[in-house]
Amino acid sequence: MCIVLGVSRSGYYKWRNRGESNRMKEEKILYSAIYDIYKESRSLYGSPRIHNGLSKRGIKCSRNRVARIMQKNGIRSKRSKRYKVTTDSKHKMPVSPNILHRDFRTEKPNKVWVSDITYIDTCEGWLYLTTILDLYNREIVGYSSSNNLYASDTILRAFKEAGIRRKVSSGLIFHSDRGSQYASTAFREKLRHSGCLQSMSGRGNCYDNAVAESFFKTLKSELIYQEGKYKTRKEARMSIFEYIECYYNSKRTHSAIEYNTPREKLELYYKEMEQCA
């Protein structure tokens, strides 16, 4: 073998007895940290978020190196890419103008909320999930799940919960698509009494409500399609509750908010306010 490989016998034995290099030892430690973050993310994070997680732990390395180690060890995000947007806007109720105009940036919490409704399949039938998201920190501030699409069981319940969690201040912009639940008299009156300004997407334009729909894409890719078809609506409700409350709002980092979690972003805002006071 030494003759074929063109190396000396003494060189071979020296290599064999030398042990691991410092770089190999360092890579093992780095792999262990990468794997810990990967498992904490429910096997959902790719190299950008894992690299950010390492930085938060004080571990310095390049993103390319993280990607190489992940590829070498078969670590990859298990997110599914299947997703379908569904919106029912075929009604004759009045619609509000688009105040938001795809400006998804805001400097304060409770200035702009966006909302959407999606369908989740179970063996008992459809479960309808309504969510309200604060554009500032991407937090789900209110949500409801129901067996029907009545405004009273979808958006009105979600808005009530959001009002308990957050202060509904006068001038808050509430943006959604043109769904009948949002155009209903009951919800429009609720917004008016709360001092909110209603904004709606253009007809058939999903990009006008991209952030709200993006959450559903994340939810379905990271949870719903991973779980498979739920046996009961109760099982689906519990699964979604655990995902939103125990993971999405408190642990999942977002590139749109500097790779902070929604709760971290909100805490940073109030700390800055205290320092300025």
Q: What DSSP character marks residue 246?
A: I
Cα→Cα distances 220→53, 133, 208, 243, Å = 23, 16, 20, 11
For residue 82, pLDDT over 60 is answered with no
Residues 6+ apart with CB under 8 A from 27: 69
**What is the pLDDT, as a whole number, of residue 84?**
47
For CATH 3.30.420.10, the residue range(s) in the chain are 112-276
Q: Best-predicted range by mean pLDDT among 20-34, 59-73, 221-235?
A: 221-235
**What is the pLDDT, as a whole number, of residue 79?**
67
84 or 205, which is more confident? 205
247 with 42: CB under 8 angstroms?
A: yes
249 with 139: CB under 8 angstroms?
A: yes
CA nearest to 108, candidates 83, 134, 128, 89:
134
Residues 6+ apart with CB under 8 A from 127: 119, 120, 121, 145, 146, 147, 230, 233, 236, 237
Q: What is the pLDDT of residues 222-270, one digit of tens each?
A: 999 988 899 999 999 999 999 999 999 999 999 999 999 999 999 999 9
Share of the chain above pLDDT 90, in %: 58
**One-letter amino acid of 110:** N
This prediction's pTM: 0.77
Q: End-to-end distance of the chain based on CA atoms, in angstroms?
A: 74
Radius of gyration in angstroms for the set of CA atoms belonging to the chain, rounded to a whole number? 24
**What is the pLDDT, as a whole number, of residue 41?**
84
Least confident window among 48-57, 79-88, 195-204, 222-231: 79-88
CA atoms within 13 A of residue 263's CA, in its CB half-sphere: 10
Q: Which CATH number fits domain 112-276: 3.40.50.300, 3.30.470.30, 1.20.140.150, 3.30.420.10?
A: 3.30.420.10
Positive/negative CA dihedral, 68, 73, 74, 76: negative
